[in-house]
Copies of this chain bind each other. A is one copy, B any other.
Amino acid sequence: MRIVGVDLGGTRIRVALLDENYTLLKRVEEPTRSWEGPAVTIPRILNLIAGIIDASDEPVQAIGISSPGPIDPVTGRIVSPPNLQGWVDIPLGRIAQERFPGIPTYIGNDANVAALAEVYNGAARGHTHAIYITVSTGIGGGIVIDGKLFTGAHGLAGELGHTVILVDGERVSTLEIEASGPGLARYVARRIREGAQSLVTEMVNGDLDAITGKTVGQAAQAGDPLALEAVTRSGRLIGYSIASLMHLFNPTIFVVGGGVSNLGELLFEPMRQAARAHVIDPAYYEQAAIVPAALGEDVAIIGAAALAIQELEAAGRN
C-alpha cells in the first residue's frame, strides 16, 4: 500500500510517501510562506503531492492531509486557522480531490491526526481509547474512541484546550489560556511585575513583553524558582483537566506532546500528581497511563496517512 501524507504547517509544508506500516519511503519539504496566500501556496502543495505520486513505485491509494484547524470534516474546508492568515474558508480537501480524481483525499486537523499517529504508530500503540494532548502555543487535542478518531456530530469535538478550568468570581479561564506556552509567559511576567525575582528578567533584558513559553522553559531547566513555579502550575492545571477527561472518557492512555511537553518530568510530575489527587475512584487513574508523545516532527505526516488508511477502511466496510 502507498499513501501520501501531507503536513501543512504554519512554517513548513512536508509531503511524504508512506507504506501501510507508516514507513516514510520518500519525503519533500518547502517553507510554507503563508503570507503569499492560498492562491500561491495551494498550487505548490498540489505540485509537491503530484511529484511524490509520480515518484511512487506503486499506485497511491489515498492522500491524507494534516492542516491547522478548525476544519469542517464533512467538506474538508479549512475554516480560518490562526497560524495560516488569509486562509479563510479554503476547501483544500475538495481542491486536492479535483486535482487527483482517482485518489481519495482526506483532511484532518493537526492535533486530531497527531492523536491517530500516536495510536497507530506511537506511544499509544495498541490502545483503542486514547487522548492526545498537545501543549505548545495553544493546547489542542485528539480523542480516539474504539480505535477511531472521535469528531462529534459536526466534526468540532476534541478541542480540550478550550475547556473551562478556572472560575473565580467574574474571572473565567480555560486550560489553554492558563497552561499553554503563552500562559507560562503571562504568569511569569505577572509575578515579576508583582516583585518576584527571576532569571527570566535578565534573559529578556528587562522587556517582560518579550517573555515566551520557551524563555520560561529554559529558566526552569536552569533551576529558576519562579519559572519552576510556573511550569509546576501548568502541569497541575493540565493534570486537573486529565482528571476531568478520565471521568468523561475513561481512556486507557493519555499522550502528551507539543513543545512544552519537552520539559519532561518538570511538567509530567505535577501533572500526574494532580490527576491522581482528583479522581473520585483510584480506578480512573490506574486504568490510564500518562506518557510523553513518541513521534517527533513526522507526527503530522504519519497522522495524515493514518487518517487516510482509517477512512479507506471505513469506506471499504460500507
B240 engages A151 (CB within 8 Å): no
Known contacts A162-B247, A166-B166; A156/B281 CB under 8 A: yes
Query: Of the candidates B153, B155, B284, which one forms a contact with A156 in the assembled complex, judged by CB atoms under 8 Å apart?
Result: B284
Name the residue of chain B whose CB is nearest to the CB of A277.
B172
Chain-B contact segment, one of A181-189, A200-208, A248-256: A248-256
How many subunits of this chain does the assembly comprise? 2
B162 engages A244 (CB within 8 Å): yes
Q: Is A21 an interface residue (CB 8 A)?
A: no
Q: Please give, as numbers and ranges, the residues of chain B lying within 8 Å of A153 by CB-CB distance.
A: 128-129, 250-252, 287
B244 engages A164 (CB within 8 Å): yes
Name the residue of chain B whose CB is nearest to the CB of A171.
B168
Q: How far is the CB of A280 from chain B (nearest CB, A)?
A: 5
Q: Please give, as numbers and ranges, the residues of chain B lying within 8 Å of A248 by CB-CB distance.
A: 143, 157-160, 163, 245, 248
Q: Please give, as numbers and ranges, the residues of chain B lying within 8 Å of A155 by CB-CB distance.
A: 250
Interface size on A, residues (CB 8 A): 44
Q: Please give, as numbers and ranges, the residues of chain B lying within 8 Å of A212 by CB-CB distance.
A: none
Known contacts A164-B241, A244-B162; A250/B284 CB under 8 A: no
A154 engages B278 (CB within 8 Å): no
Bound form: Cα–Cα A85–B248 in Å:
25
Q: Is A167 an interface residue (CB 8 A)?
A: yes
Q: Please give, as numbers and ranges, the residues of chain B lying within 8 Å of A174 by CB-CB distance.
A: 278
Residues of A within 8 A of B (CB): 70, 128-129, 143, 145, 150-160, 162-168, 172, 174, 237, 240-241, 243-245, 247-252, 278-281, 283-284, 287
Task: Give the 10 A-B CB pairs with smallest separation, nearest first.
Answer: A152-B250, A163-B244, A129-B153, A157-B250, A159-B247, A164-B240, A156-B250, A162-B247, A168-B168, A153-B252
